[in-house]
Structure 1
Amino acid sequence: MRTRFRIEYLAAAGAAGIIIWLLFTRPFIGMADSGDFLRVLMTAGLDYNPAATTYEDRFFSYANQHFAYGSLRGAYITSQLIPVFIARGLGWLYDPSLFNIRILAAVYGALLVAAVYLLVRTGRRYSMAVGVVLTAGLLFVFLDVRYLAYFNSFFAEPVSLIFLLLTLGTGLRLAHQEEPGRWTLIFFFFCVFMLACGKLQNTPLGVVFALYGLRFLPLRWDRAWRKLVLICCSALFLLSALLYVFAPDGLKHINLYQTVFYGILNKSPDVKGDLKALGLPEKLAGNAGSNYFQTDVPIKQDAPEMRADFYDRMSHGKVMLYYATHPQRLIGLMERAAHQSVYLKPGYLGNYEKAEGKPPGAFNDTYSGWSRFKAGHMPNSLLFIALFYIVYYGVCVIEWLRAREGSAKMTSELLMLVGFVGFFAFLIPIMGDGLADIEKHLFLFNAAYDIMLLASAAWLAYRIAVLLGFGRDGRRISYRSYR
C-alpha cells in the first residue's frame, strides 16, 4: 500500500529546526526591554536579572536571558500571562535559582509549530501546490529572526503572532471538518481570546470575532452544538469588554497622552486650533510633540493639573470624533505610519546579550531574508497598501460568490477577517497611541499583512494547479480520471 506524503510533517519539522537553531543555540538572540517588561514581571512573580545592574544592562541596549524569581506584586491582566505562568512553572522545575527566558520561547515555539502544521495540513487539502507554497512561505516569513527574536522577551507580540496564525488554522479546520468537533470550536475561541486580550489595543477584536462566531451555528444542528457556540461567543464578548473596562487607569492615561500630544499635535500646523477642537485648554500647547516618558516638558505628564485639564476631559471617543471631522490629519498620520510599516522591529532595541561583547543596540540578523527584503524592496506607501487591500478583498469576494461548498465560503470569510485584523491593527495604534513606538505597535499589522501576502501566493498556486489539471496529491488528472 502506498503511503501518502504528508507535507505538514515536513513543515512542522522545519519550523522546529529553525526555532531551535535561532533561539536555543549560541549566541543568545532575544529582545531588549523598552520598559514594557516590568508590568508582566511584577504580575508573574519575576524580576530583572540581578547581574544586570545598570540602566544600559536592562533597557534598550542588550537582551537578557536570565531573570530572578520574586513575589507577585502587580495586577496587570492580559492573556499573555497564561504562557508566562506556564513557562515560569517549568522554569522553576528546571532551575529554581534563576528563570531562563528560553523556557518561555520553548512554549511559544511549540505553539508556532502547531500553527504551521495546522495551516499546511488545511492548505494541502486544496492542492499539493498550495501545501508546498504554504510550507515554504511560513518557514521563510514567520520564522524570520525579526519575528522569532520577540519569543525570548516579555513583549506581548509573540502572543499576537502565534494566536492569529492559530485562529486562522483552527477556523479553517472547523470549516473543513465534515462534523466540526466541540473541542476544535472551544480551541478556536480560546485562540481568539488569547489574540484579543494579549494587548489592550487588541480587545475590540474579541467583540468582532464574537459576532463572527455566530457563523458557526449552522455547521451543526444539534442543540448542544448551538448552545456551545452561543456560550463561547458570549464569553469572548464579555471577557474582551471587561479587559478593556478594567484596564489600569495609568495605562489608559499613557495611551491618551500619546494619542493627543505625540499623535494629533505632533507636527500639527495649528496646535491651538486642534486643542480647541478637542475641548482642551491652550496652555497644553507647550507639550505638543512630546511623549509620555519625556522629562523636558512644560507640564509634567502626571502633574495634578493634567488630570483636570486633560485626562478627565479626553477619551478615545473624542479622538475618533476629531479624526472624523479632520480626515486629512488622519490620512497624514496613516501615511507616516505606512512608511514605518515595513520594519519588523524597532531600530533602537538590541538583541544580543552584553556578554557577547557587541556594541549597545547591536542586532543579530541571522535568517532575516524576509525582513530585509521587506524593508529594502516592499513599497511602503499608503496608496500601495490600499491598492493591495482592494485587490485582496476583490479576490476573496469573487471566490466567496463562486464557491459551492460551505467550507470554501468560510475560507474566504476567515481570510477577509485576517484582512480586517490587519486594517484594525494599522489604524488603532495611530488613534490609540499616536506615532509613539510605531514600528512595534504595527507588529500585528505586519503579521496580518504577511498572512495576506502568503494567502495570495497560495491562491495563485491553487489556480495554476487547477488550470494545469493537477489534483490534491500533486498528480496530473487525465481525462479518464473523470470517467
Structure 2
Amino acid sequence: MGKWLKAEWLYVAAAGIVAIVLLFAGPFIGVADNGDFLRIMGTAGLNYYDAGESYEDRFFGYAHALFAYDGFLRGFYPSTQILLVVLARFIGGIANGEAFDIRILGGIYTALLLAAGYVAITAARTEFRIVSALLALLMVFVFGDVGYLAYFNSLFGEPVSFIFLLLSIGFGLKLARSEQPTVSLLLLFYASVLFLTCSKTQNAPIGIGFALLGLRYIGLGGKGRRIRAWIVGLSAFTVLASVTMYAAAPKDFKEINIYQTVFFGILNNSPDVEGDLEKLGLPQRLSVLAGTNYFQSGTAIPQNDPSLKEDFYDRISHFDVLGFYLSHPGRLVEKMAYAAENGMSIRPYYLGNYEKSEGKERGALSFRFSGWSEFKHRYVPNELWFVVAFFAAYMAVACLEWFKARALGARIKAELFLLMALTGIFAFLIPILGDGQADMGKHLFLFNVCFDAMVVSSVVWAIYRIRKLL
C-alpha cells in the first residue's frame, strides 16, 4: 500500500484524473487549426473530415475531434511528431476505420506526460518526503493546466516539445543520480532528446547542447569502453540529427520564415526601412513589403513573385539576420521587449477550444483547470526586465550550486538546470531571428515550458533548502 502513496504515484493518479476530465470526459476540448495541421496531415495520412466545411468553421474558431483517413506522404514535413501521429492513426484505424479520433493521439500524449512526471519526481527525490509531494503538486497544477493539455487533442507539434523536454530533464537527472550509467537509461535519455530536437526545425540546435552535456556522463563511473562508446556515439548521432533536421527543412518553409523575419520582423516599424535594406544587401524596391507577412494578400509584390527569388530569397539567410541584430543591439532589444509582452501566455487565445456542435461562440475557450495559465497571463510581469532578472537569478543560483557541489553527479544536475535555462533563452530568441513578429505568443511555447519548469524547480529548491535548515 505504501508504494501507491509515494509522491510519483499520487502525481500519476492526480494528473491522470485532470487529463481525463479535461480531454476525454464532457465536452470535447482541443485547439483550433490555424493552418499548421496541413503539413502534418499530408505526411501522416490524414485529412479534414468534412471536405465541404467553410473556412470560418475549419480554421481558428473551432476545434475538431474527427479527421479523415487519406494517403501518406502527400507532402513531407520532417518531425518526430509524425511517428506519434502515425502510431495514433494505426490505433485509430483498428478502433474506427471510418474516421480518426484525435483523442487517441491525446491519450498517447497523456501517457507520455504521466511518464515524464513520474520520472522527474523519482529523479528529484530527496530525504524529505514533503519536497517530493510539493514537486508532484506543482507538476499537476502547472503542467496539468488546460493551456498545455488542450494541445494534446490537436495536430500541433507543441505537445512533443513540451513532453520530451520534461522527459529529457527527468532522464538526465536519473543518469546524474546513478553510480554508473546503464545503456537502457542512456537510450531513454538520448531518445527523449532526439524527439525534442527533431520535433520542430526551430528546436534543431537544442540537441547540440544536450549532446555536449551527455558527454559528462562518461565520468560517472562509466570507465568501461562499452559505456564510453555508447555515450560518444549517441552524442555524435544527436549532433548529426540536429544538423540534418535544420538542413532538411522544406524550401518553402525556409522561405516563409525568412520573409517573416525580414519584412514582419526587422522592417516592421523600422525607423529607416531603406537604410535597413541597404545594410542587409537587399534592393530598395522591397521597401513596399515592410510590415507585411507571408500570408497576407494584396501586397505590392506577391510573396511568390518570381522576381523575389533573385532579389530576396537567394540573397539573404538567417545568418545575415543574426549579423544585423548583433550590429544593431538596440533593435534586438526592441524585438525582445515585444517578445516579452507576448511571452507569458501558454495558450493561443485566438484559437478556439470547442467543436462547433457544442453551440459555443466561435473562438470560445475552456477555462477549466486554468489556474496557472490565467495567473501567469494576468499577473506575471510580461516585461523584458522581469524575464532578464528571473533568468539571471535562476542561473546564478544554479552556478552557485555547481561550485558548492563536490560530486560529479551533483554538478551535472546543476548543469542540467543551467541547460534548461539556456534552452529557454534560445526559445525566447529564435522566434525573433527565425519568424519575426508573426504569431509571437504561440512561437514562444517552448520558452513558456522552460520558464514554468524553472518556476517549479525554484520553488522546490527553496523549500528543500529551508527544510535542510530546520
Normalising by structure 1, what TM-score? Answer: 0.95
> Partner letter of residue 148 of structure 2?
Y
Query: What residue number does 2:50 align with?
Result: 50
Query: What residue number does 2:145 align with?
Result: 144
Query: What residue number does 1:456 align with?
Result: 458
Query: What residue number does 1:103 align with?
Result: 104
Work out whether 1:6 is the aligned partner of 2:6: yes
Query: What residue number does 1:473 align with?
Result: none
> 1:50: how far off?
2.0
Query: What residue number does 2:341 align with?
Result: 339
Query: What residue number does 2:238 align with?
Result: 236
Quick check: 1:34–1:59 contact (8 Å CA) kept in 2? Answer: yes
Unaligned runs of 5+ in 2: none
> Partner letter of residue 152 of structure 2?
F
SS of match in other structure, 2:67:
strand
**For 2:93 and 2:253, how far apart are their aligned partners in 1?**
30
Q: How many residue pairs were aligned?
A: 468
Per-residue Cα deviation, 1:208-258 (whole angstroms, up to 9, x for no partner): 222222111112111110000111011111111111112110000000000
Query: What residue number does 2:20 align with?
Result: 20
SS of match in other structure, 1:170:
helix
Quick check: 1:129–1:465 contact (8 Å CA) kept in 2? Answer: no
Quick check: 2:212–2:235 contact (8 Å CA) kept in 1? Answer: yes
> 1:51: how far off?
6.3
Aligned 1:42-441 pairs, distance under 5 A: 42-50=42-50, 53-72=53-72, 73-219=74-220, 220-441=222-443
> Partner letter of residue 86 of structure 1?
L
Distance 1:389 1:3, change over 3 A: closer
> Partner letter of residue 115 of structure 1?
A
SS of match in other structure, 1:108:
helix
Quick check: 1:8–1:117 contact (8 Å CA) kept in 2? Answer: yes
**For 1:242 and 1:17, how far apart are their aligned partners in 2?**
39
> 1:124: how far off?
2.3
> Partner letter of residue 409 of structure 2?
S
**For 2:96 and 2:405, how far apart are their aligned partners in 1?**
54
> 1:191: how far off?
0.6
Per-residue Cα deviation, 1:68-104 (whole angstroms, up to 9, x for no partner): 0000112211111111111111111110110000000
**For 2:228 and 2:179, how far apart are their aligned partners in 1?**
16
> 1:126: how far off?
4.7
Distance 1:3 1:320, change over 3 A: closer
User: What is the Cα-based RMSD across aligned positions, in Å?
Assistant: 1.3
Greater alpha carbon shift after TM alignment, 143-152 vs 396-405: 396-405
SS of match in other structure, 1:92:
helix
> Partner letter of residue 373 of structure 1?
F
SS of match in other structure, 1:47:
strand
Query: What residue number does 2:449 align with?
Result: 447
SS of match in other structure, 1:68:
strand
**For 1:446 and 1:467, how far apart are their aligned partners in 2?**
32
Work out whether 1:40 is the aligned partner of 2:34: no
Quick check: 2:123–2:171 contact (8 Å CA) kept in 1? Answer: no
> 1:123: how far off?
2.1
SS of match in other structure, 2:276:
helix
> Partner letter of residue 297 of structure 1?
T
**For 2:392 and 2:209, how far apart are their aligned partners in 1?**
21
> Partner letter of residue 448 of structure 1?
C
> Partner letter of residue 165 of structure 1?
L
> Partner letter of residue 141 of structure 2?
F
Per-residue Cα deviation, 1:23-42 (whole angstroms, up to 9, x for no partner): 00121000000000001001
> Partner letter of residue 169 of structure 1?
G
> 1:2: how far off?
7.8
Greater alpha carbon shift after TM alignment, 150-159 vs 116-125: 116-125
**For 2:248 and 2:369, how far apart are their aligned partners in 1?**
40
**For 1:318 and 1:368, how far apart are their aligned partners in 2?**
41
> Partner letter of residue 8 of structure 1?
E
Per-residue Cα deviation, 1:291-336 (whole angstroms, up to 9, x for no partner): 1000121001111011011000010010000001111001000001
Per-residue Cα deviation, 1:241-294 (whole angstroms, up to 9, x for no partner): 111112110000000000000100011111111111100011111111111000
SS of match in other structure, 1:62:
coil
